[in-house]
């Protein structure tokens, strides 16, 4: 099946700094990618829909100025957590659809564990 990668797999940053997470579709083009956040023992919560070449669509309650999303190419979307705080510590997962295949299946990245100290 299609493969989605994320980098880094884990990151520790200090409060107030920014951190960038990359999501790549390795063997297909993804016009749409999704960013989720998952706190321990909780479900995946959709943060935003990332569209290649246009602005991301954020879910209600997600601060677009804090979670910057850039989808500059058909294989890469980035999520930047700006001015990170300890409460932003979470597991961030991206996913992508291979729209050209006509499939509804979403392929998930391996996730990025963010710890803000």
User: Which stretches of the chain bind other proteins, using CB under 8 A?
Assistant: 32, 34, 42-46, 49, 91, 93, 95, 97, 104-106, 108-111, 113
Least distance from other proteins to the Cβ atom of residue 85, Å: 23
Residues 6+ apart with CB under 8 A from 70: 50, 77, 78, 80
Kindly provide the b/e burial profile for residues 78-91, where b requires at least 16 CB atoms within 10 angstroms of the residue's own CB: bbebeebeeebbbb
d(CA 46, CA 54): 18
Q: Which is nearer to other proteins, 18 or 115 (CB)?
A: 115
Report in angstroms how near the CB of residue 16 gets to other proteins at its nearest.
Answer: 27
Residue 83 CB, shortest distance to other proteins, in Å, is: 26
Q: Decide whether 5 or 82 has the Cβ nearer to other proteins.
A: 5
- Is 22 or 108 the residue whose CB approaches other proteins more closely? 108
In the complex, minimum distance from the CB of residue 108 to other proteins, in angstroms, rounded to a whole number: 4
Q: How far is CA 49 from CA 17, 31, 41, in A?
A: 24, 10, 23
């Amino acid at each position: 099946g299609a493969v989605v990668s994320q980098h880094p797999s884990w990151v520790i940053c200090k409060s107030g700094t920014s951190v960038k997470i990359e999501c790549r579709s390795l063997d297909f083009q993804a016009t749409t990618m999704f960013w989720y956040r998952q706190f321990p023992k909780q479900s995946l919560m959709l943060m935003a829909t990332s569209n290649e070449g246009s602005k991301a669509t954020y879910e209600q309650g997600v601060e677009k100025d804090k979670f910057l999303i850039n989808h500059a190419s058909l294989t890469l979307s980035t999520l930047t957590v700006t001015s990170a705080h300890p409460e932003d510590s979470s597991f961030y997962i991206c996913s992508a659809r291979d729209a050209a295949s006509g499939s509804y299946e979403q392929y998930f990245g391996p996730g990025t564990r963010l710890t803000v100290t």
